[in-house]
């Protein structure tokens, strides 16, 4: 189990490094098109740094507001608070803020920037449809995201995807406004630059590549959180049963959006939980591993 966790961490780090490489390449491509490689690279890094700063401090508040989450009343949701407190003591992490979302679909997510500044949100559908051991497995999964700093990793991944999208959009619009030229009209060397076509192709492909990489990071972190949750509860059947219920439930989580889809314990938007029936490209951009794969992995532990 520890080997699986270590392998997932290494792959996640490698993918995040790949994000930075893609961002730098996009900056260089912008530089080729405007005739100054340094300016393009610096602009890309500055935009990503500003977005990362804002995301680091405000991502949790934004996610909770978008999902229409409200603080869970300690009296009304006493069982939930007690369960979270018990798992936090067992896992050695501070108790996060606990929120409830009025949504019939069973789902949950964690958000924040570190274990001391984190929150867990669960839907009313999850509270109604899960028994105690199943709910414990789901909460342990979300606490694992907090303990493993997945909440920060995914915030940074989403931020980098957004930075790539913004930089490429600006560059392509600049080309459009400039009549499709790749450099200043008086700069013949840049106009004849053989790398210009490569730069244009990269600007078109980069957003898709970045989104695929973000989805890959998300899938890795979901697998890691499943394994870590079992380590925390020491009872694999609880999470297995919860995932089986999620697989059988096709209710779409209306409180979710494309921007927050990666945060939830299972794919909240499609209403299709068996991704084995879906095509290659859907799987490539899917932020969650198929539930059947997750269940099979837990049964091997």
pLDDT per position as a tens digit, 285-300: 888 999 999 999 999 9
Which strand ranges, in their side-by-side order, compose the sheet holding 117-123? 69-71, 97-101, 117-123, 108-114
**Residues in contact with 243: Cβ distance below 8 Å, sequence separation at least 6, in sequence order:** 226, 266, 291, 294, 295, 298
- Active-site entry in 134, 136, 142, 222: 142
CA atoms of 5 and 148, how far apart (whole Å): 10
Q: Can you give the pLDDT at residue 12?
A: 67
Q: How confident is the model at residue 186 (pLDDT cuts 50, 70, 90)?
A: very low
pLDDT at residue 20, as a whole number: 77
Higher pLDDT, 185 or 218: 218
Buried b (16+ CB within 10 A) or exposed e, 131-155: eeebbbbbbbbbbbbbbbbbbbbbb
Nearest Cα residue to 139 out of 22, 279, 238: 238
Average pLDDT over residues 50-60: 85
Q: How far is CA 221 from the centre of its chain?
A: 9
Domain, as residue range, for 243: 2-300
Check if the beta carbon of residue 93 is closer than 8 Å to that of residue 115. yes
> What are the distances in angstroms from CA 9 to CA 100, 118, 151, 220?
30, 20, 14, 8
For Cα atoms 153, 107, 259, give the angle at the middle one, nearest 5 degrees: 45
- Which of 44-48, 182-186, 191-195 is modeled with the greatest confidence? 44-48
pLDDT digits 0-9 by tens, 112-171: 988 999 999 999 999 999 999 999 999 999 999 999 888 988 888 888 888 888 888 877
Residue 5: pLDDT band (50, 70, 90) is low
Spatial separation of the C-alpha atoms in residues 207 and 215, rounded to whole Å: 12
Whether pLDDT at 267 is above 60: yes
Sign of CA dihedral 125, 92, 9, 23: positive
Identify the band that residue 51 occupies on the pLDDT scale cut at 50, 70 and 90: confident
Q: Locate the DSSP E strands across the chain.
A: 69-71, 97-101, 108-114, 117-123
All residues at 6 or more sequence positions from 250 whose CB lies less than 8 Å from its CB, including other chains? 271, 272, 273
Name the domain count of the chain. Answer: 1
Q: What is the pLDDT of residue 275?
A: 46
**Catalytic: 142?**
yes
Contacts (Cβ under 8 Å, ≥6 apart) of 100: 69, 70, 71, 72, 77, 80, 121, 122, 123, 124, 127
């Amino acid at each position: 189990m520890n080997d699986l966790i270590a392998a997932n961490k290494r792959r996640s780090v490698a993918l995040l490094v790949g994000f930075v490489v893609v961002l730098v390449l996009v900056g260089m491509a912008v530089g080729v098109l405007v005739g100054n490689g340094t300016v393009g690279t610096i602009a890309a890094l500055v935009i990503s740094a500003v977005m990362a700063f804002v995301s680091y401090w405000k991502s949790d508040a934004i996610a909770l507001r978008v999902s229409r989450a409200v603080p869970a009343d300690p009296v009304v949701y006493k069982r939930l608070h007690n369960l979270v407190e018990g798992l936090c003591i067992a896992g050695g992490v501070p108790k996060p803020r606990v929120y409830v979302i009025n949504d019939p679909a069973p789902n949950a997510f964690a958000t924040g920037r570190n274990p001391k500044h984190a929150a867990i949100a669960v839907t009313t559908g999850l509270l109604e449809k899960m028994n105690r051991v199943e709910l414990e497995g789901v909460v342990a999964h979300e606490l694992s995201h907090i303990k493993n700093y997945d909440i920060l990793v995914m915030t940074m991944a989403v931020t980098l995807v957004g930075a790539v999208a913004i930089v490429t959009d600006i560059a392509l619009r600049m080309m459009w406004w400039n009549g499709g030229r790749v450099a200043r009209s008086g700069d013949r060397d840049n106009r004849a630059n053989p790398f210009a076509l490569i730069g244009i192709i990269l600007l078109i492909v980069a957003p898709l590549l970045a989104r695929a990489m973000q989805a890959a990071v998300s899938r890795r972190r979901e697998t890691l959180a499943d394994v870590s949750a079992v380590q925390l509860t020491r009872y694999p059947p609880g999470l297995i049963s919860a995932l089986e219920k999620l697989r059988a439930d096709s209710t779409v989580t209306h409180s979710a959006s494309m921007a927050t889809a990666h945060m939830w314990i299972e794919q909240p938007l499609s209403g299709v939980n068996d991704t084995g029936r879906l095509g290659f490209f859907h799987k490539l951009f899917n932020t969650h591993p198929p539930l059947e794969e997750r269940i099979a992995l837990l049964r091997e532990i």
